[in-house]
Structure 1
Amino acid sequence: MIRSPRSSERISLGDVDLRLLRVFMTIVQCNGFSAAQASLGMSQATISTHMRHLEERLRVRLCERGRAGFFLTDEGQQIHAACRDLFGSIDRFRAAVGDTAGELSGQLSFGTVDAMVTNPRLNLDRAIGAFHRLAPRVTLEFNVAAPQVLSQGLLSGAYQVVLMPAPERVVNMRAQALFHETQKLYCGARHPLFAVPDAALKPALLAAQAFAGRTYMQRVPICGVDFDWQAATPHMEGTLILLLSGAYIGFLPDHYATAEVDRGRLRALAPDRMSFEDLFQIVHARQSPSRAAQALVRAIVEHCTAQPAG
């Protein structure tokens, strides 16, 4: 049961309501109706219908959508927080039932950042294959999201296991370092710097270019350069598109950029000076993680070929 934010009346929840609430959660995660179409496999009209039914059921306006953009109302924020607790509890209940029965079953929510498929050191595809062979009855929910979304999801219970760049210490979580990822500065073939020799790429020249950063990065100097932030995106694919436009320079994982470099569409700028390392780690709950979560963590660790020392 759930209490309406505008009423003391308790609203009973059935299977239909849970499906509508999951639609709502996906819309919020994708930050809008249009962006949620691919994740939900629904048209925007169908998503709008589902949201209208949910708002009628809960008797509150959950979000505003239109020319001004998508944002949650105060009531929508309350319902979203309650949903995270609700679905986190459901997942933990399913895992506990499976553990009690001595089998790996239930649902496991795993999240990571994008551009992992091209990382030759991670072997995430092999790890997931091995996990499925070990736990064929576990339903794996696999999401790709920005690091801050993954961190929040860990705390709320939306994710049981995440793979992401090392953040500040996450309370009540266990983290294991896996590998370092090299980030280099790139520009597209249409950019004025594409043909400029590395020796001429001085900090002042680089700082004068329009820079495409990531929304979760602090706007501080990188590799000694105070870049001119004129675009930002949470995903590597977004960064790649911005760089290929010829309008911006920005950082990408070297393994993700390799294919475009080989095609002559990207170039690393002064890679001996303009590069840094990101430490990636696997993170899960410190207290009573499910057996399925522990099995997925083991599979990822065992298949990673570049685990940092210590």
Structure 2
Amino acid sequence: MRFSGSDLRLLQVFEAVARHGAFSSAEAELNISASTISNHMTALEQRLGIKLCQRGRTGFRLTEKGQVVLDASRRLFKGISDFDAEIGALRGTLAGELRIGLVDSMVSDPKARISDAISLFKSRAGSVSLTLMQERPQVLQQKVYDGDYHCGIGSFPHLISGLGATKLYDEKHYLYAADNHPLFAPGATVSMESLRHHAFIRRGYWRAADEKRLMLGPIEATVHQIEPQLMLIQSGQYLGFLPEHFAQPLVETGALVPVLPEEISYTCTFSLILRKGYRQTETLKTFVADFVRAHDVETA
């Protein structure tokens, strides 16, 4: 088939539908009705001569061939973005798209100078579209490796093969309880032994060694992000670890209390990760340089 601009639009609709998992869920992003989306999907299937998905009362599901087309479409979009960036570099300007993945709850950390880095980058000549997405650490690593994101920022104690990391800063975590937790009832004694009788919250991405070291009581809840962990702690029924910067405002009001802070804590190292061997555009190189500069560190 001879590829055209209208084919690209159909593929963009298809990618959005596949990412959202339904026609209705993709309406807001595409700014078109579900019926129009359905017509576009039908037109794409006729154009390719391939059944891309099953849709109906049972929901939306990609066919095997549909998954192949989806993967190829995403590679195509990445290639177009990189092409824009490389042509922009030839003209002496920054262009294309940057897709950046982040872990959650970084905004309150004064060491995370992400806004400063973006301000520095955007002050340069050019027109670059930025996309920032929040992910769990393992998912974020995989998406950087797969090329869904150009880079990632977060704490990655177990870095997957094929990624390189540049250290940015350290983040301290302490164990916290709400002011209404039984540990702080009148007459209660807070000790390492007493913790064994209270419910703990684990992070879903921790490994067995992390749990053995940090879970000092029974594990009765699991989270993958910081804000849900805070909600559980505030119920007064659980103990859990939080970043110091994230918990500090609530500590100052008395709503949260650090538990044995002299004895119980751990440190996370935050890094910028990139895929090794990935051919970086001038746009990505410039962003990484500005990001490292904002954090006043040297590249690895």
Q: When the two structures are superposed, what TM-score results if normalisation uses the length of structure 1?
A: 0.77
- Report Cα offsets for 1:196-233 as digits up to 9, x if no partner: 89973315x32432222222222443545454332222
Unpaired runs of 5+ residues, structure 1, are 2-9
Q: Is the 8 A contact 2:183 2:189 kept in 1?
A: no
The counterpart of 2:280, out of the listed 278, 289, 307, is 289
Once residues 239 and 54 of structure 1 are traced to their aligned partners in structure 2, the CA distance between those partners, rounded to angstroms, is 42
Unpaired runs of 5+ residues, structure 2, are 46-50
Once residues 124 and 225 of structure 1 are traced to their aligned partners in structure 2, the CA distance between those partners, rounded to angstroms, is 31
Matched, 1:303 2:294: yes
Instruction: Calculate percent identity across the aligned residue pairs.
Output: 27
Q: Is the 8 A contact 2:175 2:265 kept in 1?
A: yes
Partner of 1:27 in structure 2?
20
- Report Cα offsets for 1:100-146 as digits up to 9, x if no partner: 33321111111111111111112211111111102541111111111
Q: Is the 8 A contact 1:182 1:275 kept in 2?
A: yes
Count of residue correspondences: 291
Partner of 1:107 in structure 2?
97
Q: Is the 8 A contact 1:180 1:308 kept in 2?
A: no
Counterparts of 1:184-195 in structure 2, within 5 Å, are: 184-195=174-185
Output the amino acid matched with 2:103: V
The counterpart of 1:216, out of the listed 179, 184, 205, is 205
Output the amino acid matched with 2:243: P
Equivalent position SS for 1:256: helix
Q: Is the 8 A contact 1:223 1:275 kept in 2?
A: no
Once residues 309 and 113 of structure 1 are traced to their aligned partners in structure 2, the CA distance between those partners, rounded to angstroms, is 21
Q: Is the 8 A contact 2:104 2:134 kept in 1?
A: yes
Q: Is the 8 A contact 2:23 2:38 kept in 1?
A: no
Q: Is the 8 A contact 2:136 2:225 kept in 1?
A: yes
Q: When the two structures are superposed, what TM-score results if normalisation uses the length of structure 2?
A: 0.79
Larger Rg: 2
Q: Is the 8 A contact 1:215 1:232 kept in 2?
A: yes
Q: Is the 8 A contact 1:89 1:157 kept in 2?
A: no
Once residues 50 and 219 of structure 1 are traced to their aligned partners in structure 2, the CA distance between those partners, rounded to angstroms, is 49
Partner of 1:277 in structure 2?
267
Q: Is the 8 A contact 2:10 2:41 kept in 1?
A: no
Once residues 247 and 33 of structure 1 are traced to their aligned partners in structure 2, the CA distance between those partners, rounded to angstroms, is 40
